[in-house]
Amino acid sequence: MKLKKSTAQSNPSPFHSDRKLCFIDLETTGVSPLRDRIIEIGIVVIDGETIERYSTFVNPEVRLPPEITRITGITSQDLEFAPTFSEVVDRVEELTADALFIAHNARFDYAFLKHEFARLDRPFSRKTLCTVRLSRALFPGHPRYNLDAVTTFLGLSISDRHRALPDAEALVHIYEKAMVRDDFDNTVAKLLKKPTLPMQLSEEVLDSLPDTPGVYTFVDSEGTILYVGKSINIRTRVKSHFMSDYARTTDLAMSRQIQQVYAEETAGELGALIRESRMVKQMSPVYNRALRRSRQMIVALFARENTLPTITLAPLSEVPLESVENILACFKSQKQATEKLREIAREFKLCPKYLGLERGAGRCFASQLGACMGICDGMVDLEYHDRFTDGFQKLRVPPWPFPEATTLVEESERFRETHFIYKWCYMGSVIENKSTQEVSKNPYTHAFDWDEYKILARAIRARLTKKQGLSPINLTHIQEAFYL
């Protein structure tokens, strides 16, 4: 078999360009820039009156999946003696330098090259133009805009589809067809200023998003919730996902699946934070990680036995509202709770039996080693209460700072939302739409949630510091607010 390593040639350009244009297509071992590798590069550079073509196989130094061979016709034998990316990186750098990087679904090809450069500790940054977005803007009304569809409705043909250089040549012809449109220059200028949206989303999706606080969800074609996010400006935050995906593999993988974006406005940041936390726990989105904790968390509850402080471990979901003030610490798991309590027992010389770590009659094992002062065997330890307090000082949920419940009000141009909070538990909210006078009531389960506690503590601390926006209310009035 004759092996194709690399080819390059220069010819007169089919059209004049005032700027250097780099049309590029890659074939890869898969769709993840982090895990997969480039196996073929095709580049067509147009600079003024000249055109230069470059094509090479690339040895990915990983296994070539059979399905890639079926799609591209490229085999492991083709790649065995091909140069590695480190051997062609200087040529790719030279060809793409100071050029407009043009590709079909540019986010894909650009992300792969950026990661290949990063593996060699080399930076790679280019201005990109996506021919999917360009075709959608200049040739509207077609159901699909993948490369096969665009070349078909423009009357173009590709001699060797799914090979890098022929596909890159097709992009040149698409660009040439686009150039004759009257609105070409303005369209390109606008696209260069906008984030590179996933090819399956239209510009109208971003334009319709509110620039106000709230939550948003990304949904795939099956209706699966991919991601839930929050922001004080939904439109700007959603755009940022599509601007940063070249560096973040998660955003790139997620963007390939997004079919719909939904948004829900709130009156302020607190409402957005609480909704995001609740929605993540209820929906378990594929790409959310940090807020996936459920109520399976373990808490250490304070109690007394014969005037001595004791600890019992219990699932957070089983802690009633009236016992919230007895929570000394929250843990992600039983194992983490046990390990932390043992650490506290050793550092502060506390009795493992009174921390719920040992059972049975008589002295604890630690007292035999001098690590416990013997309160489990009837010995008097006058400093035990102080050491117990010090041991849990950094972990303890602070006492609720009000004699009753409190409300916190947020207002935007469209909404006024009253949040009801009691003993660090979010009781719900009442939202008034200022334009329609419509009122919606959102009572929540009265339970302590660790993530929501941190959100509420920050919000209340900020309001107390500013001495604004908090009003006392008793539980009866909260019930009336929701159910009358």
| Residues taking part in catalysis | 162
Name residues whose C-beta falls within 8 Å of residue 106's C-beta, 6 or more positions apart in sequence. Answer: 128, 129, 130, 131, 132, 196
Buried b (16+ CB within 10 A) or exposed e, 114-150: bbbbeeeeeebebebbbbbbbbbbbbeeeeebebeeb
Partnered with residue 263 across adjacent β-strands are 216
What's the CA gap between 329 and 346, in Å, rounded? Answer: 17
| CB distance 256 to 198 below 8 Å | yes
Name residues whose C-beta falls within 8 Å of residue 295's C-beta, 6 or more positions apart in sequence. Answer: 281, 315, 316, 317, 447, 449
- For the chain, first and last CA: distance in Å? 82
Residue with tokens 């070409």: 184
DSSP string, 3-51: ---EEEEEEEEEEEEEEEEEEEEEEESSS-TTT--EEEEEEEEEEEEEE
Using CA atoms in the order 393, 397, 401, 406, what is the torsion angle rounded to 10 degrees? 170
| CB distance 219 to 268 below 8 Å | no
Partnered with residue 28 across adjacent β-strands are 38
What's the CA gap between 117 and 252, in Å, rounded? Answer: 17
What's the CA gap between 71 and 462, in Å, rounded? Answer: 58
Sequence-ordered alpha helix ranges (H) in 257-415: 269-283, 334-348, 365-368, 384-391
| CB distance 161 to 25 below 8 Å | no
DSSP 84: B
Partnered with residue 327 across adjacent β-strands are 301
Strand-pair category, 405-411 with 470-473:
antiparallel
